[in-house]
Structure 1
Amino acid sequence: MKYIILFILYISFFNASSQNTYDIRDPAENFGTKCSECLYVLNNIPTEVNRGIDVDEHQNIFFFMSDADWFYHLIKKGGDGLAIDLVLKNQYSCASDKVEYKNYISKGHLLPPIYLKDIKKNSVLTEEGGIIIKIGTIPDEYINLDYELNLVILKNKYCCQYTVLFNIRRYKWDLLDMGLFADSIMYKTKINDSGTGSQRIVIVSKKKMKFSVPFEKSKTSYSTEDIKPLYDSLMLNDYEIKKISIRAYSSVEGSTNYNLELQNKRAISIVKALQSYQNQEIEYEITTAENWMEFYYDINQTKYSELGSLSKKEIKKRLTDEVYLAELEPYLSKHRKAIIEIEFEKKEHKDMTDSELVSAFNKSVNNNDNVKMQELLDLAFSRIINGKSPNNFLGSFEIPNQLEFGSLMNNKDVYKYFLDLEDVQTTYQSMLQLNEMLPNNRKIAYNIISLKFLLWINGDVEMDPLLFKKEIKKLRSVGISSELVNRILVNYDIVMAEQYMIIRDYRNKDKMLKDIYYKYKNSSPNSSDLLKIAQFFVAYGKYDWAIKLLKPYVTQVDSDEDLLFYYINLTIIDLDITKKSEYKRILLNAIDINKERFCNLFNSTSKGGISFQILDNEVLKMNYCESCN
């Protein structure tokens, strides 16, 4: 994961005070003429050119820019230079007023400027064509304090730009999961292990279902009988529940602690009731919150809209009036609910040992019973990925090399690949052989393209990109859905954009970006895809595209947490967006879903936050001080 500092322009001039401004001059009413050249260059620097500041273990301050040529377009004369303004977090306490500038150039502690002559002495060029410059040192009295560094750009010693730096996560491109076809499409993905902080590989092939369950106001628990209609509606048949994730919401009136405790009891009672229908232990995850997001949304444009301008504490006080509370009950009743996501997996024959499973498979081979063979092969794979059988167990299942077993051979090769028993090249060659046996099999055709793509990006095979694109599109003619074909085409555009970027062909790079944007603008992608595409756009400076892409998916109470927080990362510094009433609801939802993560956004950039200086925004400061202080 890579962190890059995003620059946000902020220019403001004030009357000078007693603080030392060195030889830096205030352009004042002559700003347009004194700074025109500087602003022209800044406005024309490509969005792909990154800039930022870092501090090493010796407290040396470094400025970096990914394109040295553009830097020297900006800083090219003796009086051109850079300076640092050091700002402290304690200036932004909830008890203090808005931070004011001490003079036309500083709202903190201004460090000595560095000009072109010394910049050249203190700079090094990177192999990629960038530049790194030592521009100062943190004063001893600030080393142990929580601070941030703002950048001042000087033109002929005039202060032409004061820049607050925000820490926005930027990612290099990452491919969408293309997966491989067995009986259905399967994916191999990485997930974070919350216990160790490491990542582990999981095979995504389980069924999932998501739905909402309303809570009755006076009901505190759910029995087996209460849950039976829900359980019957799942129509599990050959499946059982593997995991349940519940977001339990209360309405906003009453004690917060009581509300959260009540929702937790309700959620646990649902899990226990579902557990009573099966022996396999159900994993579960429960989060609880008061449903502030939907409360603010529902009262908007009603006679109760005045509540929208009040704090949570003030609203709760108003709702102690029983008459007023009764009037609002039709709205509040809709806010008490659980958003439940259930993950299923196929039931196992627990009475069958591994050796008995192999014997049953061999018997099915002799009987040419493909259906039974597939069922037993799936069971073996399930046991392996759940750690109940060793990885080499799959080798015990011998499939005759015959036409009628071609589909089974495909599935076994896919399973071996996902279990790391075979690499990409070996699996690709196996698929080519299967394709000769079953030339019109859509699953094998898809697997060949998916594996060939991986070989291409790993540099293991050379091919003409345009011809390969035609091969990808041909998958539609063998019955592969447009959705899956588009996923591969998006990956193709991602790879080509990177290649064009390397040779600085910005025109063709932008063409690839547009292709991706319009493919996803009119589709219904999953949360993982959305996040990857948004991160990809941000890596290429297309923040507005990422914001537009994510916006429709972050306005619901059951929004994906990572999508929601990434959207906030991209928008929280935009005053035009944050002043809107709907943004307040988005922030409240983020607080309800993960308050600690929300509060950490306001940490200093060196501690992983976006910046504590976003507390200059009164809307953000109110939410922060109410929820985090």
Structure 2
Amino acid sequence: MKFLLGLVCVSGLLFPNLLSSQSAGSKVDLENLDHDLLSNELIIALNNYRKEKGLSELEAEKVLSEAALDQAMYNRKSNSVSSEQIKKKKITAFDRVRYYKGLFYKVDEFDIAVEVDSKTRLKSSTKTQPSSYREISEYILEEWRDDRKLDVLLTDEAFFKVGIGFAPNKVNQLLFASIVVGSAPYKKEKNFSYSSKSHKINPYDREVCKIFERTYSYLPELFSNNLRIEGNRIVFYYHDLALIEGILDMGKDALAVDIMTNEQFACDHGNMLHPSPVHKGMMLKPVKKSKLFKLNKLKGAKEFRADLGAIPAGMDTSTLQFALLVIKDKCLCSRISTNNLKGKNIRLLDIELAIDTLSISQNIDSNSRFLEFTVPFEKSKYDYEVEDIKPFLDSIQLNRFNIREIEVTAYSSIEGNPISNMNLQQRRAESILHAIGEYQLQEVKTKIETHENWDGFMESIKGSPYEAEYKNLSKDEIRMVVNSDTLQYDLEPYLADQRKANIRIFVESIYIDSLTPEKLPSKFQASIQDEEYIRSKAIQTLMYRAVLNGELDTAVLFEGDIPQYKQFVPLANNRVAFRMQFQKKKNSDSLVDNLRMEIEALLGVEPTNGHINFNKQAIKLYYWAKDLQFLIIDEENKVDQPKDFYKDIRKLYNTKIDNYKVNRLLLNYNIISADFYYDRRDFRNRIKALKQVKKYVQKAKLNRTQTFIMAKYFIYQMQIDWAVQIMSPFIKSGDYDSDFMMTYLSISIYTEKLVKQETYYEYLKIASEKYGDEFCELFRKPGMSKEYLSDLKIKSIYCENCK
């Protein structure tokens, strides 16, 4: 066994006359103590305990044994038990290990004095005296385990090595024992010259670094992928010289690189890190501020490039890991590990034009035979006019349905109080039935139900920042929170969709011939020739859905002419939207130009149409995204086109366009604004625009794909917290793919306030089991640095799956 050989070597050198043929059951005689035998028994006891905890066994190590013997002898001399010494170079266990030339990044110690002839009762034995080697070993282990603070050391998975020293005091019949545990030792590279004092750089000091950290807390993310290898040189590049000048603003500031090998984090042994508090591997000589700026060849371009040193000779860069060290006033203030965050800037997110189709689902169940549609209500309003419901009722007549019963379920949103909400629900249902009655349908049976829309509210906040906060609250608790003025404003986009009435119309017969896809194009042309607006709109709606279902070719949507009459403007607008949806990939620029002209022409006929005005603003966003100079600000002449554009988009809230669609326009407006103001060096308004992007992301009902695009945008903008916030609901619900999960893991490692450490480990475990190879690639170049395996729980999960 490795530990036995090691201790025999050490103890044999130190106590050559004490070797004997005693056994583990032999009574201990301090006059003739077998140090090797007692060490061997104690290590067996320690490792049996660690095996019960699922930990690796400890192996004996010479330097640790020397440090342990040193402390045992010190305690015997002082006739007391202590883990410290007076001598400066030997104060702590770590100091003593370094004194004996050990390179362990983590070390700790347990010290004890055993009264060998006392009547001490073992907790696990009926014997009253630890007389044998085995009993004394078990006694020491039990004393260690009973000390809660020290038991943590015994079960620390960072420890792989152990050294034990004994110093008997024959006069007092005391046996002083010292046990030193340590991590795997660091192995120096032969072709590198190490600085004994880390180039005189001081370890991290909170007082020295606090202003820097408060100002530049985002540097670990920002500079996570800015080291480059050019030949055998390590180069740091950043596109903004001004930022670097702000960071390195003191004379003793510097940058340095810490080079580590993959072998330091290999799965077949413990992490082998250099014991320096400044670096973990080979630290290159820091390059001071004055030299960095003097040798910057990109100063004219207002960029920054710095050569930070050479890779040691004979080393393969594919086996190396790098960390950037930011030094302030000769103190290490930031250690930046490599991490490829994969951020991506965008100018537009899924611009879709508004289509004015009938508000009918057309999902007809031939068994239950009913039609459904939804009527929205504004906040606190209940009046509904026949004109608002006429298109749907016309479609009923068009399809010649025989109505048997009308069922109205009226909902209110959850804010306010239950009694007022109940009255509001009843009035809404009665308003709907009154409007239907004015349309003069045949007399039919009616049924009214009223509810506060709790299910709808909880469904609408899925994927939002409020989901986790509310899911464990009672209805009364949620209502109390929602009714607060500030939060009600923030929740309005989620509450608005809950104010509605669902109408279900049961029918006795359905004429399926009117819905046959192949007959729709000819019926559409006939309805236009007959100037039957409602009929043509219903058929156009059915054709569109047939195209989406693959039952018709897209060409049918563009066949025939649509008259330029006011009542037919919605049909022409829909064609514009169809062309954007189905033809955008072909000649997109010229297509958008044509669509813009068509929209302007339609507005000349019907300037108040909400759908056309929506599409006008959407097309305008397309132009602005392509050319940031499309809109201008002329302060001298008080011209602010972006501001006017913003007001035009907000006017769409007063139309029948769904709020979330308007929110998507405003989301895109602010995405473009952020770049627009950046180009103008107007950073105040740029930051405001980014905050608005965050606001509207949560109100735009984005799906997972869209959310992922926005998360990458936030990563690019160094808003890592925001990216984690919008991705987290999908992770929690299990709605993700490999790319989504790996990106989430690479960024949430920076956001412990949002993703607690234990939760992060759980996600790592899920990813490792679900995605295997993709998970392993996460910790290979150009992904996350293997330095992240310094966290032993991360390493454990990695090594279980990626050996």
Q: TM-score, normalised by structure 1?
A: 0.61
Amino acid at match of 2:617: I
Aligned to 1:477: 654
Counterpart contact for 2:357–2:538, Cα < 8 Å:
no
> Does residue 462 of the first structure (1) align with residue 635 of the second (2)?
no
Aligned to 2:565: 402
How many residues are matched?
Answer: 458
CA spacing shift, 1:385–1:484, aligned 2, 3 Å: closer
Q: In the TM superposition, what is the alpha-carbon distance from 1:588 to its structure 2 partner? A: 3.9
Aligned to 2:594: 426
Which structure has more relative contact order (CA 8 Å, sep 6+)? It is: 1
Q: In the TM superposition, what is the alpha-carbon distance from 1:469 to its structure 2 partner? A: 1.3
What percent identity do the matched residue pairs reach?
A: 23
SS at match of 2:318: coil
Aligned to 2:504: none
The separation in 2 between residues aligned to 1:101 and 1:207, in whole angstroms, is 69
The separation in 2 between residues aligned to 1:558 and 1:233, in whole angstroms, is 33
Aligned to 2:748: 571
The separation in 2 between residues aligned to 1:87 and 1:233, in whole angstroms, is 69
CA spacing shift, 1:350–1:591, aligned 2, 3 Å: farther
Q: TM-score, normalised by structure 2?
A: 0.49
Correspondence list, 1:222-241, <5 A: none
> Does residue 181 of the first structure (1) align with residue 354 of the second (2)?
yes
The separation in 1 between residues aligned to 2:673 and 2:686, in whole angstroms, is 7
Aligned to 1:624: 798
Q: In the TM superposition, what is the alpha-carbon distance from 1:142 to its structure 2 partner? A: 2.3
Deviations 1:352-390 (A, max 9, x none): 5xxx98666544433445567567767877898899998
The separation in 1 between residues aligned to 2:352 and 2:266, in whole angstroms, is 49
Amino acid at match of 1:534: A
Aligned to 1:550: 727
The separation in 2 between residues aligned to 1:593 and 1:376, in whole angstroms, is 46
Aligned to 1:487: 664
Aligned to 1:615: 789
Amino acid at match of 2:611: K
Q: In the TM superposition, what is the alpha-carbon distance from 1:391 to its structure 2 partner? A: 7.6
Q: In the TM superposition, what is the alpha-carbon distance from 1:447 to its structure 2 partner? A: 0.9
Deviations 1:193-221 (A, max 9, x none): xxxxxxxxxxxxx999xxxxxxxxxxxxx
Q: In the TM superposition, what is the alpha-carbon distance from 1:150 to its structure 2 partner? A: 1.0
Unaligned runs of 5+ in 1: 1-12, 186-205, 209-228, 238-346
Q: In the TM superposition, what is the alpha-carbon distance from 1:554 to its structure 2 partner? A: 1.9
SS at match of 1:597: helix
Unaligned runs of 5+ in 2: 1-93, 104-187, 373-512, 633-640
Find the partner of 1:146 among 302, 316, 319. Answer: 319
Aligned to 1:84: 257
SS at match of 1:554: helix
Aligned to 1:7: none
SS at match of 1:82: strand
Counterpart contact for 2:660–2:699, Cα < 8 Å:
no
Counterpart contact for 1:83–1:135, Cα < 8 Å:
yes
Find the partner of 2:310 among 120, 137, 158. Answer: 137
The separation in 2 between residues aligned to 1:533 and 1:234, in whole angstroms, is 42
CA spacing shift, 1:447–1:172, aligned 2, 3 Å: same
Amino acid at match of 2:261: L
The separation in 2 between residues aligned to 1:523 and 1:118, in whole angstroms, is 50
CA spacing shift, 1:585–1:107, aligned 2, 3 Å: closer
CA spacing shift, 1:184–1:99, aligned 2, 3 Å: farther
Aligned to 1:304: none
The separation in 2 between residues aligned to 1:434 and 1:573, in whole angstroms, is 51
Amino acid at match of 2:631: E
The separation in 1 between residues aligned to 2:356 and 2:623, in whole angstroms, is 23
Find the partner of 1:446 among 614, 630, 641. Answer: 614
CA spacing shift, 1:127–1:207, aligned 2, 3 Å: farther
CA spacing shift, 1:553–1:234, aligned 2, 3 Å: farther
Q: Which has the higher strand share?
A: 1
Amino acid at match of 2:595: T
The separation in 2 between residues aligned to 1:57 and 1:381, in whole angstroms, is 56
SS at match of 1:124: coil
SS at match of 2:576: helix
Deviations 1:491-524 (A, max 9, x none): 2222223333334444333333333434455775
Q: In the TM superposition, what is the alpha-carbon distance from 1:455 to its structure 2 partner? A: 1.9
CA spacing shift, 1:27–1:519, aligned 2, 3 Å: same
Amino acid at match of 2:215: N
Q: In the TM superposition, what is the alpha-carbon distance from 1:131 to its structure 2 partner? A: 0.9
Q: In the TM superposition, what is the alpha-carbon distance from 1:427 to its structure 2 partner? A: 0.8
SS at match of 2:664: helix
The separation in 1 between residues aligned to 2:370 and 2:231, in whole angstroms, is 63
Aligned to 2:199: 25
Aligned to 2:676: 499
The separation in 1 between residues aligned to 2:279 and 2:233, in whole angstroms, is 20
CA spacing shift, 1:348–1:595, aligned 2, 3 Å: farther
Counterpart contact for 1:68–1:130, Cα < 8 Å:
yes
